[in-house]
Structure 1
Amino acid sequence: MSQDGWRKSSRSQGANTDCVELRVAPWRKSSRSQGTANSDCVEARTAGPGFQVRDSKLGDDSPIFDLKTADFTALLQRADR
């Protein structure tokens, strides 16, 4: 799956390439993790009514965790300490 852009169903391969595509929100990384030796952190994106988070070191191989908005807000508040 692409980090951002459009995602097409795996069933649209071969002769039947017409299908509906889904827009995927891009992953966002904290601005605090840019340009440093330790630039690996959690990435997040909006997903439906909540958010998804993953480990930036693993990229597309990272497990993705779905969080409700309240849980994501609590995570951000806890990480800010």
Structure 2
Amino acid sequence: MNQKELARRWGISHRTLERWRYCDQGPAFLKLGGRVLYRLADIEAFEQTQLQRALKIVEAVERIGHAPRRLTADPTRAARVC
């Protein structure tokens, strides 16, 4: 799957995938002849890790008995690349 197809699958910008690759985040990828490709097994493995992270957060919130506070936007975050 190429980055535009994966971006469509997840409903994100293909530029987000480019940034993730630059920052060593996101699913494993292949670079063949200048083309960036993602294997379905790597995509599904990454999705599973994200699901597990989300489930752990939900469990932690349930243990403490209330929803976490809503955080305001961090103005310095926009300046960070990774």
RCO greater where, 1 or 2, for CA within 8 Å and sep 6 or more? 2
Larger relative strand fraction? 1
In the superposition, the TM-score normalised over structure 1's length comes to 0.26
Larger relative helix fraction? 2
In the superposition, the TM-score normalised over structure 2's length comes to 0.25
